[in-house]
C-alpha cells in the first residue's frame, strides 16, 4: 500500500513497515473520534489482503464506540483475507478489552515490535 500522507490528522498517523500498515491512534478514541476517523478507516480496510496493525500506544482513553471501531476494522480486514492486530500496552485499556471479551478477536499484543514479529 502506498502511504499518501503519514499524518492524517493530529489524532491518526499512518505508517508502513515491511508490508504492514500501522495506524496509530492518538488521544481519546471516543464517539467523536469514531465519527471523524471511521470513514478513513473504512477506506483503508476496503483493501484485499491488508496486513493492518492498529497501535493504541498513544491512546489515552477508549470507550465502547472506540472498541466498536476496532471490531469493525478487524472484521473488514479478515473478511477480505487480511490480518489484523492491536497494540495495547496500557493496563487499563487491556482490562477494558479483556472485560469486553475481545482480546483474542482483536489479536492484542503488548508492543508494536511484538505485533510486527507476529506471523499473522
**Which triple of cell numbers denotes residue 3?**
502511504
Long-range contacts of 94-99 (CB under 8 A, 24+ apart): 96/62, 96/67, 97/67
Mean pLDDT of all residues in 23-28: 95
d(CA 60, CA 42) in angstroms, rounded, equals 23
Chain segment 63-106, per-residue pLDDT in tens: 999 999 999 999 999 999 999 999 999 999 999 999 999 999 99
CA 24 to chain centre: 7
CA 14 to chain centre: 10
All domains of the chain in start order, with CATH = 12-117 (3.30.750.24)
Is the pTM here over 0.85, yes or no? Answer: yes
Amino acid at each position: 500500500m502506498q502511504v499518501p500522507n503519514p499524518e492524517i490528522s493530529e489524532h491518526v498517523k499512518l505508517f508502513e513497515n515491511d508490508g504492514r500498515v500501522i495506524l496509530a491512534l492518538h488521544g481519546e478514541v471516543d464517539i467523536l473520534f469514531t465519527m471523524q476517523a471511521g470513514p478513513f478507516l473504512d477506506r483503508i480496510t476496503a483493501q484485499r489482503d491488508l496486513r493492518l496493525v492498529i497501535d493504541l500506544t498513544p491512546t489515552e482513553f477508549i470507550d465502547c464506540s472506540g472498541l466498536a471501531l476496532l471490531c469493525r476494522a478487524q472484521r473488514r480486514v479478515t473478511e477480505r483475507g487480511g490480518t489484523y492486530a492491536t497494540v495495547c500496552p496500557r493496563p487499563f485499556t487491556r482490562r477494558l478489552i479483556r472485560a469486553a471479551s475481545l482480546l483474542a478477536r482483536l489479536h492484542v499484543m503488548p508492543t508494536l515490535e511484538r505485533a510486527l514479529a507476529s506471523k499473522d
